[in-house]
Chains A and B, each alone.
Chain A
């Protein structure tokens, strides 16, 4: 653990996390206005910022960005502490767990696409599991699972590709340090 910092000493990392989280909320709100085949089913492009945080600053930063987005989003939407919030949070936590796990893969680890796919599938799976266990333990719900997970897979690839493009752009500008996702956590 780093030495305790003065309460108001905001690091550059903090600023980056906050900026990314805010960007995530904006993308999420913009996406909410898009038409979609099933209500509420969106590509989840806001997760690009989580991936960016993961790539730039490591897993803990990504966790902050993700959870901040869930929190800010629910406060803005007025769904804080509702079942919606619970599901949103479950998905986010599951995705973060997946991101942590894939970072443990040997070699260079996954690129943005692989990480996004893992996170997206975990997100949808986590939401579904909580919805099934806590709210609707009806077998008819299970019929939805293949459709939802297929969608999550596609969305993961899409989000990953966007993140990949973004990271390459950053790299060209010399802003992207090439490091593994968990290096930021090694103290």
Chain B
């Protein structure tokens, strides 16, 4: 190994910087902890589901079972026994504060950021 700087050094340094830069771009690290899907049923039961684990959950209400799906860090109503299916049409939720509700079945789901959780949402 030459006791000097070589062209390969320059290349390796550049690659190293590019790698680290890419990591910062993709994962800034200060985005904060992961999010939860906060599910509430008509009877007051609550369920907290981390969004980083894919899952399907059935939540029962007076009309039957609403089906929620978590995939790739997002949550949505997959199906629900209500007539209008507004909850299903609400689509995917992934940012803290976003929420969808099946009012007839009394089921709500809200995305909540750990550590920066709001005690209530006004809208």
Residues in A lying within 8 Å of B, measured CB to CB? 51, 54-55, 102, 105, 107-115, 117-118, 121, 139-140, 142-147, 149-150, 153, 156-157, 164, 167-168, 170-171, 176, 178-181
A55 to B19, CA, bound (A): 26
B17 touches A112 (CB 8 A): no
Whether A118 contacts B16 in the complex (CB less than 8 A), given A139-B52, A140-B34, comes out as: yes
A146 touches B28 (CB 8 A): yes
CA distance A107 to B7 in the complex (A): 9
Contact B1 A110 (CB under 8 A): yes
Instruction: Mark B residues whose CB is within 8 Å of A.
Output: 1-13, 16-17, 19-20, 23-24, 27-31, 33-34, 52
Given the interface pairs A139-B34, A145-B29, the reply to whether A111 lies near B16 with Cβ below 8 Å is no
Q: A111-B6, A113-B13 are in contact. List 12 more A-B contacts (CB 8 A).
A: A105-B8, A109-B2, A111-B3, A114-B6, A117-B9, A118-B16, A143-B29, A145-B29, A153-B17, A156-B16, A171-B3, A179-B1
Query: CB distance B3 to A108 under 8 Å?
Result: no
Which residues of chain B are near A110, meaning CB under 8 Å? 1, 6, 8-9, 12
B3:A118 contact, CB within 8 angstroms? no
Q: Which among A121, A164, A167 is the interface contact of B16 at CB below 8 angstroms?
A: A121
Contact yes or no, B12 A149, CB < 8 A: no
Given the contacts A114-B13, A146-B24, A153-B17, A176 and B3 also touching, CB distance less than 8 Å: yes
Min CB distance A131 to B, Å, is 16
